[in-house]
Each structure stands twice: as structure tokens, then as C-alpha cells.
């Protein structure tokens, strides 16, 4: 069965510091994609970063980077230089299919609070 696990219901970080949000996944499909989305209190889902299972390099997008450890089946999100606007719910998701149009399976989310 395909599954995404986020074990941190809530995290706190001081402004300007880095924070790592954990995500582990389970799939038997050799081809898959991993995603992170941000959900602010307003409710929308904002795409942050994507990592393909065959990508050799860890994905980076500005202050976001994805620490992809394939053998451990983990895809942790690292946010550098946290800002107050980073306070939000963060969801890890997986597309567990070679079909690029496949559905996303989401984790339970981690609520990040950035302290001034």
C-alpha cells in the first residue's frame, strides 16, 4: 500500500533559522514523485517543491530544499532563513505511479509556527 507519514503534528522555529519538516513514504512502485505543499490559514494549497524518484540531485526552490534519501524512503523539507510568513500547515504528498497524471496521496501535515 502507498502511504505518506508526517510524524510532527506541530513545529516551532525562530525567525531566520532553518527548520526541517519530516516526511517518510512507502511505495513498491519504482517510479514516483514527491511533493510539498503549503497551506496557510486562508486555506489554499500552494505548491512548493517536487522531487522525482530518479532525480540524482536534491530539489531546491529558493529557500526550500528537499532532502531526498531514497534508501530511507524519506523526503524531508528544509526551509532556510524562516520568515513569519512561513507559518502554515505543510503537507508532503506522493504520486505513486509512473503515470504523470496520477493522483496525489497526502500526509497528515505539519503545522509550522515561526516565532519572531
Partner 1 sequence: EPEVTQTPSHQVTQMGQEVILRCVPISNHLYFYWYRQILGQKVEFLVSFYNNEISEKSEIFDDQFSVERPDGSNFTLKIRSTKLEDSAMYFCASKRDSGDEQYFGPGTRLTVT
Residues that bind partner 1 (CB under 8 A): 33, 35, 37, 42-47, 50, 52, 91, 93, 95, 100-109
Helix (H, G, I), strand (E, B) or coil at 85: helix
Shortest Cβ 106–partner 1 spacing (Å): 4
Shortest Cβ 37–partner 1 spacing (Å): 7
Instruction: Compare residues 16 and 98 and give the one whose CB is closer to partner 1.
Output: 98
| Sign of the torsion formed by the C-alpha atoms of 1, 109, 77 and 49 | positive
Instruction: Compare residues 45 and 78 and give the one whose CB is closer to partner 1.
Output: 45
Shortest Cβ 86–partner 1 spacing (Å): 18
For cell 526541517, the residue is: 20
Instruction: Compare residues 75 and 105 and give the one whose CB is closer to partner 1.
Output: 105
Distances in Å between the Cα of 90 and the Cα atoms of 7, 48, 101 are 12, 10, 22
Amino acid at each position: 500500500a502507498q502511504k505518506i507519514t508526517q510524524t510532527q503534528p506541530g513545529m516551532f522555529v525562530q525567525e531566520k533559522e532553518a527548520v526541517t519538516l519530516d516526511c517518510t513514504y512507502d511505495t513498491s512502485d519504482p517510479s514516483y514523485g514527491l511533493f510539498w505543499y503549503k497551506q496557510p490559514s486562508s486555506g489554499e494549497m500552494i505548491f512548493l517543491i517536487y522531487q522525482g524518484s530518479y532525480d540524482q540531485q536534491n530539489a531546491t526552490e529558493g529557500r526550500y530544499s528537499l532532502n531526498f534519501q531514497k534508501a530511507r524512503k524519506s523526503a524531508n523539507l528544509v526551509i532556510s532563513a524562516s520568515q513569519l510568513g512561513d507559518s502554515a500547515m505543510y503537507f508532503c504528498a506522493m504520486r505513486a505511479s509512473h503515470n504523470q497524471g496520477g493522483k496525489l496521496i497526502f500526509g497528515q501535515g505539519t503545522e509550522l509556527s515561526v516565532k519572531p
